Structure 1
Amino acid sequence: MKQNCFHIILAFFLCTLSTYAQLDSIQQLPEVLLTDSKFVHFSKGFKLEKLNDSIIERNATSLTETLRYNSSIYFKENGSGMVSSPSFRGTNAAQTAVIWNGININSVFTGQTDFNTISPLNYDEISIRSGGGGVQYGSGAVGGSIHLNNTFTFEKIDTTQITINHGSFSTIGGNASTTQAWGDHYLNVGVDFISSENDYNYIEKNQKNKHGEFLRFAAKVNEARRLKNGIATWNSEYTYNDRNFSGSLNTIGKDKYKDLSTRNLWQLHQTFGAFDAKASVAHLFEQYRYFPDSEKQLYDEGRANTFIGFFQSEVLLQKKFRINGKVEYSYINAEGDNVGENSRKTLATVLLLNHKVSDDFSYGLNFRKEFLNDFDNPFLFSADAKWKVSKNYALRLNGSKNYRIPTFNDLYWYAGGNHNLQPETSYQVELGQEFWFGKLKADLAAYFISSEDLIKWIPGNGGIWEPVNITKTRNYGVEVTFDYSIKLLNQHTLGFTANYSYTNAEDLEKEKQLIYVPFHKAAGTIQYNYKTLMVYFQGLYNGEAYTTTDNSSAVKGYKVFNLGTEFTIPSNPQITFGIRLKNMFNVYYENVAYRPMPSRNIQLFLKFNI
C-alpha cells in the first residue's frame, strides 16, 4: 500500500515533533463547553451514557471496539477492520444516527456510518443517547444516536499528548494532540493513524486472514474565540481510509475500498439579554472508490457534498422554562457511477421545550416538521420526563415518533432503485430507573419500538433486487448497567462496570427474530489501581445471532476476554507505557457468518504527556 506512505510519514512526524515542559504539581480541570448544547438541555428524560478518557483509550483501535466493549450495541463486522455496522436496540445500521458536534454524518448513499472508519481518539467526549432522537437529529435516530463531540474552554491550557503503539499482525499506530488556550482563544489540533497487515490466523482452521490490510488516517482542528457577548467556533475533520476487503472461510478476498471525508462546522453564538442565538454553517464531503479487483485500477466512484445552514434561538424564562426554536436548511448534491447525479433539499423547523418544575422533576416536549423536494416527511414529536423520587432513586420516561429517509442508493441505484419509497416511521417508548447507593450506580431501562414501512431489498422481475416498503417490526427489551468503585486500602482502588441487554426484534411478517440481533449481550470490566499502576480485566459475551431470515442458521454465541495494564513512571509522570492482551484465551468467534475474528494478539503502547 505504497500510496499511503505519505499519511504514515506525516503522522510519525507529528507524533515525534515535541518540546518538553514541566507540568505543574497540581492541575486544575478547566470548565469545558459543549458545541451541541441541546444534547444536554433537552435530553433529561433519556438514557445518556458518557465514555470517559480511560475507557476510550483501552479500546481505541476503532469506534467499533470502543462501543462493543462499553455499551449494549451489537456490531456486525465483516472481519477485523472491515465494514462494521451497529444494531442499536435491535434496529438496523441505518436506524442509528451518528452525530458529530450536533450534525448528522450518516452517509447520503447508504444512510449509515461504518464505525471502523472512525477513530474514537479524535473526540473529547463520546456519548450514547438511547431511544428515539428524530426530532433533534433527523433521519436515522430510531434506536439511538452516537455523539462525537469536541469541547472547548477559555481557561489557560498548554498540553500535548503523544501515543505510539505497536501490535500483532504488523499493526502500528499513533496519535498526537495539542491543546492551547490563552486569553480569548482556544485551539486543539491532532492527528491519528493506524496501519495493519491484519493477517491473523483463523483459530483451528489452518487458514489465515488474507487480503485484509487496512490503513486509517485522521486529522482535526478545533478552534474557538470568545467575543463580546458571544463565542465563535470552528470544527474541522479529515479522514482517509484504504482497505483491502478480506475474504471468508469459503472465498478469497479480491476487492478494495477507499473512502475520504471532510467535515467543517462554523458557529457564531451570541447572547442578547435572556436570549441566546446561534447561527451555524456546515459542509460535509464524502467520496468512495470501490475496486472489484485490488490489482487493477478499475473502480466505481461516488461523491457527495452536503451544505447545512441553521439558525436557532434559545431563552430561559424564570430559570424554569427553556425554549429552543430552530430553522435548518440543507442541500445535498451527489453523483456516482451507480446512482447518477441527484440532489435533495430539506427545510426543517424544530421546537424544543424543557420545563424544570422543581429540583426533582422536569419534563420536555419536542416537535419537528420537514419539507423535502422529493417526498413527504412525517410530523415528528417526542416527550420525556424525569423525577428524582429520593436521593437514591429516580424515574424517567420518554416516547417519540421517528423516521428514516430513503437513501440515494435506495432511490436511484441504477439496477433497481425505487423512486416511490416512503420514509420509514417508528414509535418508541422507554421507562427507565436510576439507583444510587454510595459508590454504586445502576440503571434499568425497558423499551418498546414499533416500526413500519421499513425499506427492504427483495428480488423483483427478472431477478433484479429492488427496495420496497413492506416490513413491520416490533422491538422490545431491557438494558441494565452497573458502575461501582471502592477504596480498599491507602491508594488502592477497585472499580467495576458492566452492562447487559436482552433484545427481542421480530419481523412481524415472518414472526422471526431479525438477523444479526442477539437476544443476549453483556460486557464488563474490573479495574485495579495502585499509585501509578493500573490493571484491568475485560469481558464480552454475545449470544447466538441468526444469519438467515427464517432463523435456520446462526453464528454461535461467544465469550472474549482482554487483559491490560499500564504504568506511569513515578520519577517522570509524563511518561506512561503499557500492554494489552486481546482475546487472551484464543477463542474462535464470528460476528458475521464465515468471517472469523482475530486470534490472540498483543498491543504495546507508549504515551507522553508534555
Structure 2
Amino acid sequence: MRHFYILFVLFYCASSTSVLAQLDSIQKLDEVIIADTKLTEYAEGFQVRSLSDSILSRDNASLTDVLRYNSSIYFKENGYGMVSSPSFRGTNSSQTAVIWNGISINSNLNGQTDFNLIAPNSSDQITIRSGGGSVQYGSGAIGGSIHLNNEIAFRKNQKNELEISYGSYETSKAIFKSVTSSDNIYSSVNVSYINSLNDYKYLGEGIKNENGAFQKLNIGYNFGARFNNHVFTWNSNYFYGDRNFSSSITAPSKNNYKDVTTRNLLSWTLKSSQLISKFKAAHLFERYRYFPDKDKLLFSEGKSNTYIADYSLDYFASKRLKFNAILNYTLIDAKGSNIGSNQRNTLSAVLLMQHKVSSILSYGLNVRKEFLNDFENPLLISLDGKLQLRPWYAIKVNASKNYRVPTFNDLFWEAGGNIGLAPETSLQAELGQVFEFSNLKFNLNGFFIDSKDLISWRPNDSGFWQPINIAETQNYGLEVTSEYLKSFNQHHLSVLMNYSYTKATNKEKNNQLLYVPFHKATGLLNYQFKKFSSYYQVLYTGKVFTTTDNIGVVDPYWVCNLGAEYQLNTAHTPITIGGKINNIFNIYYENVAYRPMPDRNFQLFINFKF
C-alpha cells in the first residue's frame, strides 16, 4: 500500500504544479525535446561529448564497437559479441552507468550493462559524460556514464532508411528506421537484426571459435504529441539476444545465454516562462536464462521488474540562475534461481543549481539524499564550474561524492550472498582545459578517484565465495581528446584522436587493478570528396594484468580498420554502397586472457533512403 501512496503523492505534486504553471505566461516549447535535460543544463564543469551520426553508422553492430574505437573507455570482452564490460577511468563495470532517456538501465541483478546487448542505432544521440554522476543519476555513476537519448522533433518531416549488410563469418544485418512528424505530432520506429555464425579463426592456434554464434533483435518506438504548452512523449524499446558463449583456447564451451529486456517511459511536460514541470513513469524488465549445455533444456534464470515514478520541477529565478528539484520513487522486484524473491524500495530527493555569474564564470551545486532502502545512504554532493578565460580557452573543474549500492547477486546469491554489505563510496576531482580554435578542438583532463568499501568476492571460512566490503582503490590519470577539421575546394578532412593514461591501484597491495590498461589511444581519419568518403580507424591498447599479483598479462596490441562509401546518383532514392575491412593487418589480439578476437574480416552494405 505504501508503494501506491508514494506514487499518488508524486502524481498529485505534478498535477498541482501544472495548474499553477498555467497561470503564468505560456511559451512555445523547443522544437526538439530531449528527455535527459540534466545532461546539458546542469553539467558546465564536466566533460560531455556526443558522438556524430557518421561514427554511429560505421560501428552499428553493438555499443561496444562504437565506444571502443571512439572513446578512452576500455572494454573487457570474452570473445567478439560475448559479454562486454567497461572500465571507465579504471573503475569496474558496475561503476559505469548507462542512462536511457534519463533513466539508469544497469542490471539490478549484477549491477552492470553488457554493452553487446545495446543496439546503438536505437538512439538518436549517444553521449559520454566523464566523471562522477551519482548525484544526478544514482547508484553506479562513479567512473562516468553513457547516455542513450531519443529526440522528439516537432517539425514537418518524413523519412525512411533501410540498410542491409553482409560480412565474414556469415554475418548478416538489417536496420530499418522511419520518422513521421509534424508541428505537433512525432512518431518514429527503428528495427535492427543481426545474425552471425561468428566462427572466426584463432590465429596461430589452428582452431576456430566453434561456439560463438549469436543473434540479436531490437525494436524501438518513440512518440510525441504537443498541445499548447503540454508535451506528452512515449519511449519504448524491446531487445532479444541469443548467444552461445565462446570457447577459450584452453577449454571448450557448450554454454548458451538468452536475454530479454523491455523499457517503457511515459513523460508529461509543461513549460511556462519560469517553470518546467515534468512527470515521468517508467517500467523496465530484464530476464536472462543460462544454459550450461545448449543441447539440453536445463537452465538457471534471473529476472527483475523496475517501476519508476519521477517528478522534476525546473525554476528559472533569472536568466543566469536556475534550479531543478527532483523527487524519484523506484520499486525493484527481482527473482532468480540463485537469489530467491526480493524487493528494493528507494525514494530519492535531488536538488540541482546552475548559476552563470557572468560571461566568464559559471558554477553548479548538486545534492542528493536517498531513503527507504536497506542501507545507510550517504549524502551526496557535487560541485562544478567553468571559467571562460579567452574565447578559445576555458577551464572546467568538478568534485563529487559518489556511491554504488550492492546488487541483488551481492546480497542474496545462494551460498554466498551477504546482506550486511554497505554501499561503495568514492570521492573524486577533475580539472579540465578546453581549447577551441577555428579548425581545432583540444581537451586535456586530469582526474583523481579515491574509493572505499568496494565489494570484493573472497572465500570465507566455509570455503564459499562471499562478497565483503574490503577493497580500497585509488585511480588517477590523464585524458586527451582532439578534433581537427579542414576543407578545401570539395575536399573535406577530419582527424579525431583520444588518449588516456590510467593508474588504478588496490591500496592493499599497491598493484594495478585487473584489466585496466595504463595506456589506450584511438584515432579516426575521415576523407570526403563529393559523393565518396573513406575512413581509417586505429586502436591501441596497452598491456593489462590478469592476476592480482600483476604477473599474468594480456599483451598490448594495435588494431586498424579501413572503410569506404559512395553515394550513387538516382532519380528519387539516395543509395549508398560501402564496405569495411576490420583488422586489416590480421594481427592476433585478446581483450581477455585466452580468448582471441577476430582475424581479418570484411563487411559490405547498401543503404536506401526514401
Tell me the TM-score range normalised by the shorter chain.
over 0.9
C-alpha distance in structure 1 between counterparts of 2:295 and 2:202, whole Å: 24
Aligned equivalents of 1:497, 1:273: Cα separation in 2: 40
Q: 1:303 offset after TM fit, Å? A: 1.1
Secondary structure (helix, strand or coil) at the match of 1:515 reads coil
Structure-1 residue corresponding to 2:11: none
Give yes or no for the alignment of 1:519 onto 2:518.
Answer: yes
Matches within 5 A, 1:198-597: 198-488=198-488, 490-572=489-571, 574-597=574-597
User: How far apart, in 2, do the equivalents of 1:103 and 1:129 lie?
Assistant: 14
For residues 608 and 274 of structure 1, what CA distance do their matches in structure 2 show? 44
- SS for the counterpart of 2:462 is helix
The whole-number CA distance in structure 2 between the counterparts of 1:430 and 1:126 is: 22
Alignment of 1:91-110 (within 5 A): 91-110=91-110
Asked whether the 8 Å contact 1:139–1:404 carries over to 2, the reply is: yes
Contact persistence 1:162–1:176 (CA under 8 A):
yes
Amino acid corresponding to residue 454 of structure 2 in structure 1: L
> Match for 1:500: what amino acid?
Y
Aligned to 2:7: none
Distance 1:330 1:437 in 2: 45
Q: For the Cα contact (< 8 Å) 1:493–1:528, is it kept in 2?
A: yes
CA deviations on 1:402-427 (whole Å, 9 max, x unpaired) are 00000000000002000000000000
How far is 1:392 from its partner?
Answer: 1.1
Q: C-alpha distance in 1, partners of 2:158/2:443? A: 37
Distance in 2 (CA, whole Å) between partners of 1:590 and 1:97 is 25
Residue-pair matches, total: 580
Cross-structure match for 1:7: none
State how far apart, in whole Å, the 2-side matches of 1:544 and 1:151 are: 39
Distance 1:33 1:501 in 2: 33
Structure 2 distance, partners of 1:593, 1:499, is: 25
CA–CA distance in 1 between the matches of 2:195 and 2:459? 39
Counterpart residue type for residue 279 of structure 2: A
Secondary structure of the 1:461 match is coil
Quote the Cα distance in structure 1 between the aligned partners of 2:221 and 2:360.
39
The residue that corresponds to 2:178 in the other structure is 178
SS at 1:70 equivalent: coil
| Residue matched to 2:605 | 605
Per-residue deviation, 1:273: 4.0
Please identify, of 202-211 and 104-113, the stretch whose mean Cα deviation from structure 2 is larger: 202-211
Cα separation, 2, equivalents of 1:293 and 1:342: 28
Provide the C-alpha distance between the structure 2 equivalents of 1:178 and 1:402, rounded to a whole number of angstroms: 39
The alignment status of 1:161 with 2:161, answered yes or no, reads: yes
> 1:19 corresponds to which residue?
none
Distance, in Å, in 2 between the alignment partners of 1:251 and 1:291 is 17
- Contact 1:532–1:570 (CA under 8 A) maintained in structure 2: no
CA distance in 2, matches of 1:236, 1:248: 37
1:529 Cα deviation (Å)? 0.3
State how far apart, in whole Å, the 2-side matches of 1:234 and 1:359 are.
Answer: 37
SS of 1:127's partner is strand
Query: Whole-Å Cα distance in 1 between the matches of residues 183 and 525 of structure 2?
Result: 41
2-structure distance, mates of 1:570, 1:436: 37
Q: Is the 8 A contact 1:472 1:507 kept in 2?
A: yes
**2:36 alignment counterpart:** 36
Aligned CA RMSD, in angstroms, stands at: 0.9
Which residue does the alignment assign to 1:88?
88
Cα distance in 2 for residues equivalent to 1:520 and 1:550: 19
Question: What is the CA–CA distance in structure 2 between the aligned matches of 1:415 and 1:128, rounded to whole Å?
Answer: 38
- The amino acid of 2:194's aligned partner reads I
Checking the alignment, whether the CA contact within 8 Å between 1:281 and 1:309 is kept in structure 2 is yes
Task: Give the match's secondary structure for 2:218.
Answer: strand
User: 4+ residue stretches of structure 1 with deviation over 6 A?
Assistant: none
- AA aligned to 1:226 is R
**CA distance in structure 2 between the partners assigned to 1:585 and 1:372 by the alignment:** 55
- Measured in 2, the distance between the counterparts of 1:239 and 1:419 equals 31
Q: Which runs of 5+ in 1 are unaligned?
A: 1-29
Q: What displacement does 1:31 show?
A: 4.7
Aligned partner of 2:19 in structure 1 is: none
Partners of 1:336 and 1:206 in 2: how far apart? 40
Q: Is the 1:259–1:286 Cα contact (8 Å) retained in structure 2? A: yes
Identity between Structure 1 and Structure 2 (%) = 52
Listed one character per residue, the Cα deviations across residues 286-313 of structure 1 (whole Å, up to 9, x for unaligned) are 0110001101010001111000001110
CA–CA separation in structure 1 for the residues paired with 2:361 and 2:374: 42
Amino acid at match of 1:582: N
- CA-to-aligned-CA distance 1:70-104 (integer Å, 9 cap, x gap): 00000000000000000000000000000000000
Helix, strand or coil at the partner of 1:483: strand
Task: Tell me the alpha carbon deviations over residues 500-526 of structure 1, each in whole angstroms, 9 at most, x when there is no partner.
Answer: 000000000011000000000000011
Instruction: Report the Cα offset of residue 150 of structure 1.
Output: 0.2
Contact 1:235 1:266 in 2 (8 A): yes
Secondary structure of the corresponding residue to residue 463 of structure 1: coil
- Aligned partner of 1:8 in structure 2 is none
SS in 1 for 2:308: strand
Question: Whole-Å Cα distance in 1 between the matches of residues 121 and 62 of structure 2?
Answer: 9
Cα-to-partner distance string for 1:12-70 (whole Å, 9 max, x where unaligned) = xxxxxxxxxxxxxxxxxx95321111111001110001001101111111000000000
Counterpart Cα distance in 1 of 2:454 and 2:547: 18
- Whichever residue aligns with residue 46 of structure 1, its letter is F
SS in structure 2 opposite 1:94?
helix
CA distance in 2 between counterparts of 1:34 and 1:331 reads: 25
